[in-house]
Amino acid sequence: MTKVIDYYMTLISPWAYLGSQRLADIAKRHGAEVRVLPVNYGEVFPRTGGLPLAKRAPERQAYRMMELKRWRTYLDVPINLEPAYFPTPEAIAAGMVIAAGDSGGRPLELAQAFGRAIWEQERNIAHESTCREVAGETGHDGADLLARAQDPAMAQRHAEQTETSIARGVFGAPTYVYKDELFWGQDRLDFLDRALAD
């Protein structure tokens, strides 16, 4: 039986981006499938006790930056800590990731590429042209995925995934769910790795 990891995330999360390659490596090592499930954390946070970054206390914002610096160094990932386009609307890109999963594409690779666009390349994934380009760079048909993402049904899928995430206990990004056990944060990937090995 194939092992399945449900990956609840937002494309604009630096933590999701920092963990994305390690998640891919762990899944490959265990022969696991990763279902990439972008959700709207603008809905998740107020219903689960969280706050968007701009509304957090200065002390929490300062510590977040300290942790990002630590993880950037530890993982040797060239992440820009204050990218030009953050936060930015991600509905189009999220729809394209969902569409890639529906059409036999590589949604995890595409999600990682959108993360790289934000956190390394100073590109704005709110723009259709950028989303088409990023998809094309990963070998996907950018125009096709963009068209699928703009179908009203895709917004409904995104909303449904958000509701499902809350029902499963998700409150932060990224969250990895394996056998109904939640692993919140890219710093919990070692525990996910161990669970997959059992």
pLDDT at 1: 66
- Per-residue pLDDT, averaged over 13-31, amounts to 97
Interatomic CA distance for residues 155 and 132, integer angstroms: 18
> What count of other Cβ atoms lies within 10 Å of the Cβ of residue 60?
12
Interatomic CA distance for residues 104 and 106, integer angstroms: 7
Q: What is the mean pLDDT of the chain?
A: 97
Question: CATH assignment of 3-197?
Answer: 3.40.30.10
pLDDT at 46: 96
- Per-residue pLDDT, averaged over 111-135, amounts to 98
pLDDT at 139: 97
Is residue 150 within 8 Å of 92, Cβ to Cβ?
yes
- Per-residue pLDDT, averaged over 56-61, amounts to 97
Q: Is 182 helix (H, G, I), strand (E, B) or coil?
A: strand
Is residue 176 within 8 Å of 188, Cβ to Cβ?
yes
Is-above-0.85 flag for pTM?
A: yes
Token pair in block for residue 122: 């100073």
Q: At what angle do helices 91-102 and 152-167 cross, to 10 degrees?
A: 90
Among residues 13, 20, 103, 129, which one is catalytic? 13
Q: In this predicted model, what pLDDT tens digit does every residue of 69-104 receive, in sequence order?
A: 999 999 999 999 999 999 999 999 999 999 999 999
Q: Which amino acid makes up residue 153? A: A
165 is catalytic: no
Distance, first Cα to last Cα, the chain: 14
